Amino acid sequence: MHSLKDRTAIIGVGATPQGKLPGSTQLSLAVDAFKAALDDSGLEKDDIDGLLTFPGTTAPEGPLNYLRVGEALGIDPAFTGSMAMGGGTAGALVQMAAMAVESGHATAVACVFGDAAKTGGSRFNRASGWGDSWGIWGMMGAAANSAVAASRHMALYGTTSEQLAEVAVACRRHASMNPNAVMRDPITIADHQASRFIVEPLHLLDCCLISDGGVCIIVTSAERAKDAKQPRVLISGMGQAYTTRTLEREDWWYVPHQKEALDRAYAMAGLGPQHIDVAQLYDNFTISVLLWLEHAGFCKPGESGPFVEGGRIQLGGELPVNTAGGNLSESYMEGWLHIVEGVRQLRGQGGERQVQGAETCLVTGRGMTLNCSNAMVLTKGEA
C-alpha cells in the first residue's frame, strides 16, 4: 500500500473551453486538451509514451478509444488502453497511469477525455441501470438513483433540501470566480428552492450540468517532475472500491464502498481528514457531496447536512469544496476537472478562488450505477 506514496506526480493539466461547443467533436476536444496539457507540462509530444482514454458518453463517430486518439496525436504508445466507468474513470485512469510509470511500463502517460454531450446528445436519457433492473422501478435517469439516496438520508437523519442547497450555492459561488465556468451567476438558497423538481426531492439546482469539453492529465515520476515547467503535484495516496450489487443491497443508496476507497487513499498517504486543506468531491448531485463528506471522515454519518451550513464548505470556510464550481456549476466533465482544479490549487494557481496555504487536496470520483468509486490524496511537492 505504501510503495506508491509520492512516487509519481501530475506534471501537466489541460482543458478546453466548456459548455456548448457546436462544430466540436469528441476527438477534436480531446486533441485540444492534450495540446494544452502538453504545453502546461513543458514536455514534447515524443516524451509521451503512455496513452489512456475514456470513450466518452457520445460517440456518433465511434468511441474515443486509444487507437483513434493515438492516431490523431501521432503517438505509438508503449502503454495504452481505454476504460469506461462513468465519473469514476478519471481517477482510475490517473491511478493506472501512476502504476504504469512506477512499474516502468511508461515514463509519461497522458490521460485524455473529450465529450460532446451538450451538442451531440447523451447517454443520460437512457435508463440509469443500462437495463430493466432499474427501469422497471421507474428509474429512467441518473437523477433517480441519487433522489432515492437523498430521500433516505432525509428520512433517517432529518437532512433538509435547504442543506442540499448549501452545496449548490457554494459551488456556484466558486464558479463565479472561475472565468472558465459555464454557470457563473450567483444563486441563493431561495433560488434553489424555487427551481423545479427533477426527481423529488432533487431540484434542478441539485443536478449537474451536461457539457461539451475536453480534459487531459499527464502523469510522470516524482523525480522527473522536479525539473518540470510547473510546480510538481505528488500523488501521495490512491484508493479504489467497487460493488457489483445494487438494488439487492439494503444500504446501496449510501454507497458504503466509497469509504473503502477513501480509507485506502488515506492509508497510502499516511494522512487523514484532519490533514486535508481543500477537497474536490464528485458532485453529480448535491447529495453526493454530503455522502462524500461522511465517508471521508469530515463528519459522522448523518451529520453532513448541518456540516455544510454557514459557509463551512465555501472559500474561507473550514473545508473549501469544489473550488472551481464542480460538476454542478463549472462543467460536467465526469470528474476530470476535479483533478485539474486540485492540481491548480496545490500549485497556487487558483487566482481569486485560491485556498491560501493549500498543501493537501482530496479528490474523489464515482460512476455508473453508484458502484464505482475512487479517491486520491494530492500533495504539494517540494521544489
Residue 322 is predicted with a pLDDT of 98
Grid cell of 271 as nine digits: 494522512
In 3D space, the residue among 91, 316, 100, 299 whose CA is nearest the CA of residue 215 turns out to be: 91
The model's pLDDT over 39-61, given as tens digits with 9 standing for 90+, comes to: 999 999 999 999 999 986 665 56
Q: Which of 66, 254, 266, 332 is catalytic?
A: 332
Q: Does residue 271 sit in helix, strand or coil?
A: coil
Q: Can you give the pLDDT at residue 57? A: 65
Closest CA to 238 of 216, 271, 278: 271
Q: What share of the chain is helix, strand, coil (3-state, %, to 5)?
A: 40, 20, 40
Higher-scoring residue by pLDDT: 65, 334? 334
8-121+209-380: CATH topology is: Peroxisomal Thiolase; Chain A, domain 1 (3.40.47)
pLDDT of residue 249: 79
Whether 332 is a known active-site residue: answer yes
d(CA 219, CA 215): 14
266 in catalytic set: no
pLDDT digits (tens, 9 = 90+) for 140-195: 678 988 999 999 999 999 999 999 999 999 999 999 999 999 999 999 999 999 99
DSSP single-letter state for residue 277: S
Look up the pTM and report it. 0.94
Catalytic residue among 66, 254, 266, 282: 282
104-129 per-position pLDDT tens digit: 999 999 999 998 888 875 544 444 44
Identify whether the C-beta of residue 120 lies closer than 8 Å to the C-beta of residue 213.
no
Give the relative orientation of helices 336-347 and 89-103 as an angle to the nearest 10 degrees.
Answer: 60
Main-chain dihedrals φ then ψ at residue 121, nearest 5 degrees = 85, 175
